[in-house]
A = this chain, B = another copy of it.
Amino acid sequence: MPSLRDRKRARTRQALIDAATELFERDGYDETTIADIAAAAEIGTRTFFGHFASKEELLFPESDARVRAALDAIASRGPDEGPAEVLLRALRRVGDDSDEMASRLAALRLRLIRTVPAVRGRALQIQFEAQHEIGRRLAAAFPEELDEVSAVALTGAFVGAVAGALQVLLADPDQIGDPAAVRAAVRRATDVALKPWLRAAQPPG
């Protein structure tokens, strides 16, 4: 059970995220300083860095949990699943358990990834690390089929395809709120990347 200390810490953390969301939306990312955010959350500027290592980190508060969910999906592979099926299941898991488009932070994040280079850079780094981790686990889960180079290459292809497709789609502001279009684009991307790897028909996703 979380101690009082932990709960307090979590509350402060959330207050920082909320304050930052508010300020980023109102004034813009670059125009908001860390001092502003800390003041709005009623903590000292110095203390901010005890909760987040950098300004960008505020926008990716749950990235660890996402990666863990994907890794779990790999760990629980079914008996007749190949690497591609496992990756698809992991993707569905990651995409589902989030309110994603519904969440205010997620929408803000998408906009800032498109418009602020520093945020995009951080997003790409997180994606890259996740991809590497997933690839290594995938190699471990399919030792006879995949060496590590191929596993990370496969994961890179998968993630790269999905990211590329989403990038094109979300560049058009109209389609951002359209879940059907997003699903269609993701479907096309996974088809492109995984076509030869699928053992059976892909269930509609």
Contacts and interface: CB of A to CB of B under 8 A. Distances in A.
Contact of A154 (B158, B159, B167, B192): B192
Interface string A151-162: 011111111111
Interface in A92-145: 117, 120-122, 124-125, 128, 131-132, 135
A156 B150 contact: no
**What band does the interface of chain A fall in when counting residues whose beta carbon is under 8 Å from B?**
35 or more
Nearest to A120: B125
B165 A156 contact: yes
Contact of A168 (B122, B149, B164, B165): B149
Contact of A124 (B124, B162, B167): B124
B161 A156 contact: yes
Closest 7 CB pairs of A and B: A160-B160, A156-B164, A156-B160, A157-B157, A121-B121, A153-B189, A152-B164
